[in-house]
């Protein structure tokens, strides 16, 4: 799992979404709900290592988080998970709805 720390990291990662299904998680390091959702995301990635996955810490890397919201034409939330297919948002969810099983159903 890759941490996106710069807009350039995001641009490079987003480019992969035109070729394959990718997942990106927006994580607030100060929120217990986000910590729980991040654990669900990590469980999914451990069980499904073939997917390209990344996360951004929304507080520490605010410009990246903002760019993701702009590029994907979505309202910022955290925690928030995106499944991108063919360069487009296939599915997005936030907060308690980010569950390993729900992710698996969307990829």
Asked if 84 and 4 touch (Cβ cutoff 8 Å), the reply is no
* DSSP 8-state assignment for residue 76: -
What average pLDDT is seen over the chain? 95
Would you say residue 13 has pLDDT above 90? yes
Q: What is the pLDDT of residue 25?
A: 98
Would you say residue 87 has pLDDT above 90? no
Average pLDDT over residues 69-86: 94
User: What's the CA gap between 14 and 73, in Å, rounded?
Assistant: 14
Q: Is the pTM of this model over 0.85?
A: yes
* Cα–Cα distance list, 9 to 14, 36, 46, 80, 91 (Å): 9, 25, 22, 18, 21
Q: What is the pLDDT of residue 19?
A: 87
Average pLDDT over residues 59-80: 95
């Amino acid at each position: 799992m890759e941490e996106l720390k710069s807009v350039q990291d995001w641009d490079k990662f987003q480019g992969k979404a035109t070729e394959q299904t990718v997942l990106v998680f927006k994580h607030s390091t100060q929120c217990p709900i986000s910590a729980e959702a991040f654990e669900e995301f990590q469980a999914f990635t451990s069980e499904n290592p073939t997917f390209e996955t990344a996360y951004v810490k929304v507080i520490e890397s605010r410009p990246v988080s903002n760019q993701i919201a702009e590029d994907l034409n979505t309202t910022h939330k955290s925690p928030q998970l995106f499944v991108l297919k063919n360069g487009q948002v296939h599915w997005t969810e936030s907060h308690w709805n980010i569950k390993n099983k729900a992710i698996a159903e969307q990829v």
